[in-house]
Amino acid sequence: MLRIDVLTLFPEAFSGYLSHSIIGRAAEKQVVDIRLHNIRDFTHDKHSTVDDYPYGGGAGMVMKPDPIFEAVEFVKTENQAADCRIVLLTPQGKLFTQELAGKLIEGNHIILICGHYEGIDERVAQHLATDEISIGDYLLSGGEVAAMVIIDCLVRLLPGAIGSSASLVEESHMEGLLEYPQYTRPPEYRGWKVPDVLLSGNHKEIANWRRAQSLRRTASRRPDLLNKAALTDKDNKMLKSIDLNNN
Ligand code: ADE
């Protein structure tokens, strides 16, 4: 079972989220064990101080290293996994991708550290964290939302988390491409029809159409992904025949 410990100043931010459908059920089924810890509980002074002024001056506050080190040490004594990854969530980190998610679930213990204020004392990144991860090129006010993004992405990859593994197989088949469009009933809504091929019952044609749609979308919306995607000769032929002006 994968164990995830989250160190945060706002554990209550997670509770509703972690009990929601897939993640809540995964925890019930003991596919994942997620534990929240308040960094403030690892302070020793009267005011439970977690932040302080930046050396060198400047605006804002910086999170102190000591409660974070102590929180990690507490968690590591509780769960003595050999291959624990200690992840600091920060906009300075390596970009989180599906590929990195796959690597993270290879181990069985992950500690996520959520920062706040203007930043975290650099000694946490240098001497405690094994990884620094960013979920995208934008600034959040804290690492909590980033931690939830990562937890969501990891948990749905765990065996047993999602009812049918068929959807995961389908996703990995799409590897590196955007998804094709999906439709459900009714077959016509406000005059907009579901593409005929999807109603045809011809599975081979449907598969071809879907692949062509994925390629077309990726080429027009995210051409950067095509370089990394696993494309067959047939895919490359399809791509050549795609009219990008008609999407
Ligand atoms: N903390 C603030 N912004 C962040 C981001 N983009 N990714 C991860 N952690 C963050």
Among 90, 124, 133, 138, which is best to mutate for testing ligand 1, by the most ligand atoms less than 8 A from CB? 90
For residue 8, the cross-strand partners are 38
pLDDT tens readout for residues 97-109: 999 999 999 999 9
CATH superfamily of 170-241: tRNA(m1g37)methyltransferase, domain 2 (1.10.1270.20)
Quote the percentage of the chain above a pLDDT of 90: 87
Q: What pLDDT is recorded for position 32?
A: 97
| Nearest CA-CA partner of 205 in 215, 195, 197 | 197
**What is the number of the ligand 1 atom nearest to the C-alpha of 138?**
6
The verdict on pTM exceeding 0.85 is yes
CA–CA gap between residue 7 and residue 218 (Å, rounded): 37
Angle at 223 between CA 220 and CA 227, to 5 degrees: 145
146 lines ligand 1 (CB under 6 A): yes
Matching residue, tokens 């920062």:
115
38 lines ligand 1 (CB under 6 A): no
What's the pLDDT band for 245 if we cut at 50, 70, 90?
low
Enclosing H/E stretch for 3: strand 2-8
CATH topology assigned to domain 2-157: Alpha/beta knot (3.40.1280)
State in Å: Cα 143 to ligand 1 middle. Answer: 5
| Nearest CA-CA partner of 112 in 66, 139, 149 | 149
137 lines ligand 1 (CB under 6 A): no
Q: Roughly how many angstroms between the first and final C-alpha of the chain, as a whole number? A: 44
Residue located nearest, by CA, to atom 8 of ligand 1: 134
State in Å: Cα 28 to ligand 1 middle. Answer: 29
118 lines ligand 1 (CB under 6 A): no
Quote the percentage of the chain above a pLDDT of 70: 95
**CA dihedral for 219, 224, 225, 226, sign (positive or negative):** positive
Compute the average pLDDT of residues 128-141.
97
pLDDT tens readout for residues 162-193: 876 666 666 766 789 999 999 999 999 999 99
Pair 39, 67: CB distance under 8 Å = yes
pLDDT over 90 at 118, yes or no: no
Look at 81 and 135; give whichever has higher pLDDT: 135
Angle at 37 between CA 35 and CA 38, to 5 degrees: 155
State in Å: Cα 8 to ligand 1 middle. Answer: 13
pLDDT tens readout for residues 14-23: 989 898 888 9
Compute the average pLDDT of residues 219-226.
96
Q: In what order do the strands lie in the sheet with 2-8?
A: 32-38, 2-8, 109-114, 85-95, 131-134
pLDDT tens readout for residues 22-42: 899 999 999 999 999 999 999
Domains 2-157 and 170-241 share a fold: no
150 lines ligand 1 (CB under 6 A): no
**Where do the structural domains in the chain lie, given as residue ranges?**
2-157, 170-241
Residue located nearest, by CA, to atom 10 of ligand 1: 90
Q: What pLDDT is recorded for position 170?
A: 67
pLDDT over 60 at 247, yes or no: no
Q: How far is CA 49 from each of CA 9, 46, 68, 125, 169, rounded to the nearest angstrom?
A: 11, 8, 12, 20, 48
